[in-house]
């Protein structure tokens, strides 16, 4: 059931009398807000039951208090190839480092959020779990490792964690006092709630679908305009749109044929019954392979590569398989006998795909715009697609698509519209900045806007070129720096442009500017991160350590935010 969000003024800790009994602490680390939502729901449940808890975002957690902590829950996501979320870098480094204290008095539980199509699934949660054990703390429940269908694992984990708190609270009820009132208790955003949610999506009508890259481009990027009319859905610039795709019918057919199964066979799993064809079309992942699926496959096929991949020393083999193969590819390469029910059981539930929204409602009202790269490649001379980008590209105007809003409270324009913003968004990473510039032009503040954009070629890949040019003319964009990587002999990237403008970039930041990065997580965002530190060293005379902390502090203040994937 939907619960009212905890208001920031409302202390989760009721005033009571001595003697001292520290309440439990829930620390969360969240990149896109999922871990935050899970942590908030947990805290609300405790509050409703009259159990005092302290809820803190990891970058607000005073690590020096760790040794006094009695009961700690950590709810944290893992990014991409095994990195902590931006708000948890310092917390994670502190815990991992030599300064972390021994914690013989501490009881703890860890819940990880992640994506099992990455080999280091929930890697950060696992490391924290192990590290707390190594520091002498007592693990009161096994680490929960939640995949994209978060609640499958998070709900039972929360039940257990809550059960422990309840028992603990009853045992100490007479002896509870409030925690030192922390000014750091996270400020939670109140969102107007529509009746449409992830599990009850709105059927949005496609108003426009258009390729915005040139015919000779190496990319195929689409601009979509969808109608939210009548949904009551509201979003902020920085939010994402969740899209529930349908699998490509040919792919579903190929999987079923490869396994010689009957598409019309009814499969029942946990009270849900569908035909095999319906299961595979709407409820199961086929394009993104996961390790748990390979583990099931390895029970049915003895191939050495497969056995290595799921074995203890197979990380690089596993990585390679997950990166290059879809479900159909491994079913073809490693033949095995599956029943329809076994197959459905082993495949991961289909998860919606999230796209950073490319429009602002103050400009487009009851519409939502997306910028989506069509994922399409060849594997063994066969066409392979990404599930949602292919699904979207096949839609016609007038078709409907199931959608919901996925708020990203960490990626927000400054509340003060007089602040400057620096936006770094190569490729489809430019999407939220189209929303930002739209929003800022309606806000009409004094703050300046600076956009860094990059893509392979000027003539085929300059996304929203005319809109940026108009924004420059109209004074809605003060600077536009472009990095067309393949228009000259040597690659030029957004971070090279940043460095060329180091003095101005640093002056903007020291003058209070907010910095935003959106796009590729594994290379671009890391290189930009390094370059920002280099700029601080070069322009501010900071040493390497100071530059690192400078950027961490900007992040903790919400002035350096990343939406990377």
Residue ranges in contact with ligand 2AM by CB under 6 A? 426-427, 454-456, 485-486, 491, 493-495, 523-524, 527
Measured from the CB atom, the residue of 128 and 494 that comes closer to ligand 2AM is 494
- Kindly list the distances between the CA atom of residue 26 and the CA atoms of 41, 161, 180, 347, 481, in Å, as whole numbers in the listed order: 11, 11, 15, 32, 42
Look up tokens 């209070």; give the residue.
Answer: 512
Q: Which is nearer to ligand 2AM, 421 or 483 (CB)?
A: 483
Q: What is the nearest approach in angstroms of ligand 2AM to the Cβ of residue 531?
A: 9
Are the beta carbons of 6 and 12 closer than 8 angstroms? Answer: yes
Render the burial of 205-223: b for 16+ CB within 10 Å, e for the rest: bbeebeebbeeebebbbbb
The nearer residue to ligand 2AM, 29 or 426, going by C-beta atoms, is: 426
Q: How many CA atoms lie within 13 A of 302 on its CB side?
A: 0
Question: What sign does the dihedral 214-288-267-254 (CA atoms) show?
Answer: positive
Closer residue to ligand 2AM (CB): 47 or 83? 83
454 is written with which tokens? Answer: 């990059």
With respect to ligand 2AM, which residue has the nearer C-beta, 189 or 500?
A: 500
Per DSSP, helices labelled H in 234-303 are 249-258, 276-278, 291-298
Query: How does DSSP classify residue 429?
Result: G
CB within 8 Å of 295: residues ≥ 6 apart:
310
* Residue 495 CB, nearest approach to ligand 2AM (Å): 6
Q: Nearer Cβ to ligand 2AM, position 185 or 524?
A: 524
Rounded to the nearest whole angstrom, what is the least distance from the CB of residue 559 to ligand 2AM in the complex? 21
Query: Which of 388-418 are b and which e, b meaning 16 or more Cβ less than 10 Å from the residue's Cβ?
Result: bbbbbbebeeeeebbbbbbbbbbbbbbeeee
Beta strands 240-243 and 449-455: pairing type? unpaired
Nearer to ligand 2AM, 97 or 377 (CB): 377
CB of 425 to ligand 2AM, least distance (A): 9
Q: How far is the CB of 524 from ligand 2AM (least distance, A)?
A: 4
Q: Which is nearer to ligand 2AM, 69 or 461 (CB)?
A: 461
3-state secondary structure of 177: coil
Q: Which of 440, 406, 443 is nearest to 423 (CA)?
A: 440
Q: Identify the H or E element spanning 172.
A: helix 150-172
Residue with tokens 């439990």: 24
Alpha carbon distance 122, 116 (integer Å): 8
Q: Give least dist CB 283 to ligand 2AM, A.
A: 32
The sign of the CA dihedral 380, 117, 563, 540 is: negative
Closest CA to 463 of 415, 495, 428, 435: 428
Minimum CB–partner distance for residue 342 and ligand 2AM (Å): 39
User: Least CB distance from residue 223 to ligand 2AM, whole Å?
Assistant: 16
Choose between 253 and 487: whose C-beta lies nearer to ligand 2AM. 487
Smallest gap, in angstroms, from Cβ of residue 218 to ligand 2AM? 8
State which residue, 70 or 486, has the beta carbon closest to ligand 2AM: 486
Residue 519 beta carbon to ligand 2AM: minimum distance, rounded to whole angstroms: 7
Q: Computed from CA positions of residues 415, 416, 422, 427, in that sequence, does the dihedral angle turn out positive or negative?
A: positive
- Look up tokens 């590729």; give the residue: 520
Distance in Å, CB of 386 to ligand 2AM, minimum: 15
Smallest separation (angstroms) from ligand 2AM to the CB of 219: 7
565: Cβ contacts below 8 Å, ≥ 6 apart: 80, 519, 520, 521
Which backbone phi and psi does 343 adopt, to 5 degrees?
A: -65, -50
The residue among 319 and 460 lying less far from ligand 2AM, judged by its C-beta, is 460
Structure-token pair, residue 137: 């703390």
Q: Which is nearer to ligand 2AM, 301 or 485 (CB)?
A: 485
Tokens found for residue 43 = 């805290």
């Amino acid at each position: 059931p939907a619960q009212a969000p905890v208001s920031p003024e409302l202390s989760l800790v009721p005033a009571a009398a001595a003697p001292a009994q520290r309440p439990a602490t829930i620390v969360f680390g969240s990149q896109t807000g999922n871990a935050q939502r899970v942590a908030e729901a947990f805290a609300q449940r405790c509050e409703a039951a009259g159990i005092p808890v302290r809820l803190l975002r990891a970058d607000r957690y005073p690590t020096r208090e760790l040794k006094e902590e009695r009961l700690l829950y950590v709810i944290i996501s893992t990014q991409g190839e095994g990195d902590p979320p931006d708000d948890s870098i310092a917390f994670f480094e502190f815990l991992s480092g030599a300064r972390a204290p021994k914690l013989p008095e501490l009881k703890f539980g860890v819940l990880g959020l992640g994506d099992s199509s990455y080999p280091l699934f929930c890697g950060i949660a696992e490391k924290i779990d192990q590290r707390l054990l190594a520091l002498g703390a007592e693990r009161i429940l096994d680490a929960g490792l939640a995949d994209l269908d978060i609640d499958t694992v998070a709900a039972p984990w929360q039940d257990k964690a809550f059960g422990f708190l309840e028992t603990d609270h009853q045992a100490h009820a007479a002896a509870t006092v409030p925690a030192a009132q922390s000014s750091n208790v996270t400020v939670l955003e109140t969102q107007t709630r529509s009746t449409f949610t992830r599990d009850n999506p709105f059927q949005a009508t496609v108003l426009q679908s258009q390729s915005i890259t040139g015919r000779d481009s190496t990319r195929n990027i689409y601009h979509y305009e969808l109608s939210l009319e009548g949904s009551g859905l509201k979003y902020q610039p920085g939010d994402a749109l969740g899209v529930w795709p349908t699998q490509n019918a040919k792919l579903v057919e190929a999987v079923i044929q490869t396994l010689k199964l009957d598409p019309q066979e009814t499969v029942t799993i946990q009270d849900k019954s569908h035909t095999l064809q319906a299961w595979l079309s709407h409820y199961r992942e086929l394009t993104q392979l996961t390790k748990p699926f390979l583990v099931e496959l390895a029970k049915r096929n003895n191939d050495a590569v497969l056995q290595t991949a799921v074995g203890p020393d197979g990380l690089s083999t596993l990585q390679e398989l997950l990166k290059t193969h879809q479900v159909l590819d491994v079913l073809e390469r490693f033949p095995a006998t599956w029943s329809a029910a076994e197959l459905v059981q082993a495949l991961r539930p289909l998860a919606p795909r999230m796209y950073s929204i490319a429009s602002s409602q103050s400009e487009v009202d009851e519409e939502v715009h997306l910028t989506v790269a069509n994922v399409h490649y060849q594997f063994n001379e066969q066409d392979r697609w990404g599930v949602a980008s292919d699904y979207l590209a096949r839609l016609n105007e007038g078709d409907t698509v199931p959608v919901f809003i996925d708020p990203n409270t960490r990626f927000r324009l400054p509340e003060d519209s007089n602040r400057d913003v620096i936006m770094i968004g190569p490729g489809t990473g430019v999407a939220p900045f189209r929303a930002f510039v739209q929003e800022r032009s309606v806000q009409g503040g004094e703050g300046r806007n600076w956009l860094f954009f990059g893509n392979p070629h000027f003539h085929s890949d300059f996304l929203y070129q005319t809109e940026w040019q108009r924004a420059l003319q109209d004074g809605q964009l003060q600077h536009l720096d472009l990095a067309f990587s393949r228009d000259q002999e040597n690659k030029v990237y957004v971070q090279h442009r940043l460095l060329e403008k180091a003095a101005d970039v640093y002056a903007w930041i020291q003058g209070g500017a907010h910095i935003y990065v959106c796009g590729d997580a594994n290379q671009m965002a890391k290189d930009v991160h390094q370059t920002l530190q280099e700029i601080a060293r070069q322009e501010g005379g900071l040493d390497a350590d100071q530059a690192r902390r400078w950027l961490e502090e900007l992040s903790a203040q919400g002035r350096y935010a990343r939406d990377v994937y």
